Protein backbone atom coordinates (compact mmCIF):
# COMPACT_ATOMS: atom_id res chain seq x y z
CA UNK A 1 0.00 0.00 0.00
CA UNK A 2 1.06 3.56 -0.59
CA UNK A 3 0.08 7.02 0.54
CA UNK A 4 -1.34 9.04 -2.32
CA UNK A 5 -1.19 12.79 -2.81
CA UNK A 6 -4.50 14.49 -2.05
CA UNK A 7 -5.20 17.15 -4.66
CA UNK A 8 -6.13 20.61 -3.40
CA UNK A 9 -8.46 23.27 -4.74
CA UNK A 10 -8.15 24.74 -7.42
CA UNK A 11 -6.76 21.62 -9.15
CA UNK A 12 -8.92 21.19 -12.31
CA UNK A 13 -9.24 17.41 -11.83
CA UNK A 14 -11.46 18.10 -8.82
CA UNK A 15 -14.03 19.73 -11.12
CA UNK A 16 -14.33 16.78 -13.53
CA UNK A 17 -17.10 14.18 -13.41
CA UNK A 18 -15.52 10.79 -12.63
CA UNK A 19 -15.96 7.88 -15.01
CA UNK A 20 -17.77 4.70 -13.92
CA UNK A 21 -15.72 1.62 -13.12
CA UNK A 22 -16.56 -0.98 -15.78
CA UNK A 23 -14.71 -3.91 -14.17
CA UNK A 24 -12.87 -4.37 -10.91
CA UNK A 25 -9.26 -5.28 -11.61
CA UNK A 26 -6.28 -5.87 -9.33
CA UNK A 27 -5.30 -2.25 -10.07
CA UNK A 28 -8.74 -1.10 -8.86
CA UNK A 29 -8.34 -3.07 -5.64
CA UNK A 30 -4.83 -1.65 -5.12
CA UNK A 31 -6.15 1.90 -5.68
CA UNK A 32 -8.89 1.31 -3.09
CA UNK A 33 -6.37 0.04 -0.52
CA UNK A 34 -4.09 3.02 -1.18
CA UNK A 35 -7.09 5.36 -0.80
CA UNK A 36 -7.96 3.77 2.56
CA UNK A 37 -4.40 4.23 3.82
CA UNK A 38 -4.35 7.83 2.56
CA UNK A 39 -7.73 8.62 4.17
CA UNK A 40 -6.61 7.35 7.59
CA UNK A 41 -3.27 9.18 7.36
CA UNK A 42 -4.90 12.51 6.38
CA UNK A 43 -6.90 12.04 8.77
CA UNK A 44 -10.32 12.02 7.17
CA UNK A 45 -13.58 10.10 7.28
CA UNK A 46 -13.93 9.82 3.51
CA UNK A 47 -11.99 10.07 0.29
CA UNK A 48 -13.01 9.97 -3.38
CA UNK A 49 -10.77 8.78 -6.22
CA UNK A 50 -10.77 12.21 -7.97
CA UNK A 51 -9.18 13.66 -4.81
CA UNK A 52 -6.12 11.50 -5.52
CA UNK A 53 -6.12 12.30 -9.24
CA UNK A 54 -8.02 9.25 -10.51
CA UNK A 55 -11.18 9.88 -12.53
CA UNK A 56 -13.09 6.81 -11.34
CA UNK A 57 -16.31 6.51 -9.33
CA UNK A 58 -14.74 5.07 -6.17
CA UNK A 59 -15.08 6.27 -2.57
CA UNK A 60 -13.89 5.01 0.79
CA UNK A 61 -15.46 5.98 4.14
CA UNK A 62 -14.98 5.23 7.81
CA UNK A 63 -16.83 7.40 10.31
CA UNK A 64 -15.98 5.21 13.34
CA UNK A 65 -12.86 6.84 14.82
CA UNK A 66 -12.85 4.54 17.85
CA UNK A 67 -12.65 1.36 15.74
CA UNK A 68 -10.77 2.15 12.50
CA UNK A 69 -11.49 -0.43 9.84
CA UNK A 70 -14.42 -2.06 11.63
CA UNK A 71 -17.05 -0.12 9.64
CA UNK A 72 -14.94 0.74 6.62
CA UNK A 73 -16.88 1.18 3.38
CA UNK A 74 -15.24 0.70 -0.02
CA UNK A 75 -17.76 1.73 -2.66
CA UNK A 76 -17.57 1.47 -6.43
CA UNK A 77 -20.03 3.36 -8.65
CA UNK A 78 -22.10 4.58 -5.66
CA UNK A 79 -25.48 6.03 -6.53
CA UNK A 80 -28.05 7.62 -4.24
CA UNK A 81 -31.39 5.93 -4.90
CA UNK A 82 -33.47 7.80 -2.35
CA UNK A 83 -33.30 10.53 0.26
CA UNK A 84 -35.47 12.22 2.83
CA UNK A 85 -35.36 14.97 5.41
CA UNK A 86 -32.91 17.79 5.70
CA UNK A 87 -30.11 18.76 8.05
CA UNK A 88 -27.33 21.30 8.35
CA UNK A 89 -23.84 19.90 8.93
CA UNK A 90 -20.55 21.73 9.28
CA UNK A 91 -18.28 20.20 6.67
CA UNK A 92 -14.62 20.44 5.85
CA UNK A 93 -12.78 18.80 3.01
CA UNK A 94 -9.32 17.31 2.57
CA UNK A 95 -9.12 19.05 -0.82
CA UNK A 96 -10.21 22.48 0.44
CA UNK A 97 -7.55 23.60 2.92
CA UNK A 98 -8.62 25.50 6.05
CA UNK A 99 -12.30 25.93 5.19
CA UNK A 100 -15.44 24.69 6.89
CA UNK A 101 -19.02 25.62 6.19
CA UNK A 102 -22.52 24.52 7.17
CA UNK A 103 -24.13 22.72 4.24
CA UNK A 104 -27.73 21.60 3.87
CA UNK A 105 -27.91 17.88 3.07
CA UNK A 106 -30.49 15.11 3.09
CA UNK A 107 -30.83 13.69 6.62
CA UNK A 108 -31.16 10.13 5.33
CA UNK A 109 -30.03 8.51 2.09
CA UNK A 110 -30.38 5.14 0.43
CA UNK A 111 -27.46 4.14 -1.72
CA UNK A 112 -26.53 1.37 -4.14
CA UNK A 113 -22.92 0.51 -4.97
CA UNK A 114 -20.54 -2.35 -5.66
CA UNK A 115 -17.80 -3.58 -3.34
CA UNK A 116 -14.32 -4.61 -4.50
CA UNK A 117 -15.63 -8.12 -5.28
CA UNK A 118 -18.34 -6.59 -7.52
CA UNK A 119 -21.05 -7.59 -5.04
CA UNK A 120 -24.00 -5.18 -4.98
CA UNK A 121 -24.45 -3.30 -1.71
CA UNK A 122 -27.43 -1.36 -0.44
CA UNK A 123 -26.85 1.15 2.34
CA UNK A 124 -29.38 3.08 4.38
CA UNK A 125 -27.56 5.92 6.12
CA UNK A 126 -28.34 8.86 8.36
CA UNK A 127 -26.38 11.48 10.27
CA UNK A 128 -22.64 11.71 9.62
CA UNK A 129 -22.63 8.66 7.34
CA UNK A 130 -25.36 10.19 5.14
CA UNK A 131 -23.47 13.50 5.04
CA UNK A 132 -20.14 11.82 4.21
CA UNK A 133 -21.73 9.73 1.44
CA UNK A 134 -23.29 12.83 -0.14
CA UNK A 135 -20.02 14.77 0.22
CA UNK A 136 -17.96 12.05 -1.47
CA UNK A 137 -20.51 11.52 -4.26
CA UNK A 138 -20.31 15.29 -4.86
CA UNK A 139 -16.58 14.74 -5.54
CA UNK A 140 -17.45 12.06 -8.09
CA UNK A 141 -19.71 14.62 -9.79
CA UNK A 142 -17.00 17.31 -9.89
CA UNK A 143 -18.43 19.34 -7.00
CA UNK A 144 -16.65 20.74 -3.96
CA UNK A 145 -18.07 22.27 -0.79
CA UNK A 146 -17.08 25.62 -2.33
CA UNK A 147 -19.73 25.01 -5.01
CA UNK A 148 -22.36 24.94 -2.26
CA UNK A 149 -21.57 28.39 -0.82
CA UNK A 150 -22.24 31.90 -2.03
CA UNK A 151 -20.00 33.50 -4.62
CA UNK A 152 -18.83 35.97 -1.97
CA UNK A 153 -17.65 33.21 0.39
CA UNK A 154 -15.97 31.40 -2.52
CA UNK A 155 -14.17 34.59 -3.61
CA UNK A 156 -13.07 35.37 -0.04
CA UNK A 157 -11.70 31.85 0.30
CA UNK A 158 -9.85 32.10 -3.04
CA UNK A 159 -8.18 35.35 -1.95
CA UNK A 160 -7.21 33.91 1.43
CA UNK A 161 -5.80 30.80 -0.26
CA UNK A 162 -3.68 32.94 -2.63
CA UNK A 163 -2.28 34.81 0.38
CA UNK A 164 -1.45 31.53 2.13
CA UNK A 165 0.27 30.20 -1.01
CA UNK A 166 2.32 33.40 -1.28
CA UNK A 167 3.41 32.92 2.32
CA UNK A 168 1.65 36.02 3.64
CA UNK A 169 -0.10 34.02 6.31
CA UNK A 170 0.76 30.56 7.61
CA UNK A 171 -2.07 28.04 7.31
CA UNK A 172 -3.62 27.56 10.76
CA UNK A 173 -3.70 24.13 12.31
CA UNK A 174 -7.14 22.59 12.03
CA UNK A 175 -7.81 19.76 14.50
CA UNK A 176 -11.16 18.87 12.89
CA UNK A 177 -11.53 15.61 11.04
CA UNK A 178 -12.19 16.30 7.39
CA UNK A 179 -14.53 14.41 5.10
**What's the pLDDT tens digit per position in 94-124?**
999 889 999 999 999 999 999 999 999 999 9
Which fold does the domain 12-166 belong to in CATH? Peptide Deformylase (3.90.45)
Confidence label for 170 from pLDDT (cuts 50, 70 and 90): low
| pLDDT at site 168 | 65
Residue 164 has pLDDT above 90, yes or no: no
Average pLDDT, the chain: 93
| pLDDT at site 177 | 57
Q: Which residues are catalytic?
A: 136
Average pLDDT value for residue range 121-128: 97
Residue 21 has pLDDT above 90, yes or no: yes
Q: How far is CA 145 from CA 21, 92, 99, 116, 121, in A?
A: 24, 8, 9, 27, 26
Domain boundaries in the chain? 12-166
Q: How far is CA 14 from CA 1, 145, 179, in A?
A: 23, 11, 15
Average pLDDT value for residue range 14-32: 98
> pTM higher than 0.85, yes or no?
yes
Amino acid sequence: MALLEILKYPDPILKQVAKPVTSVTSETVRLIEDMVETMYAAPGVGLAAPQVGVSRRIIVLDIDHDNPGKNLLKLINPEISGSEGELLWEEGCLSVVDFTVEIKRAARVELKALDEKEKELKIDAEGLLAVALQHEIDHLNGKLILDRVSRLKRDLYSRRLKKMLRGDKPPPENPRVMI
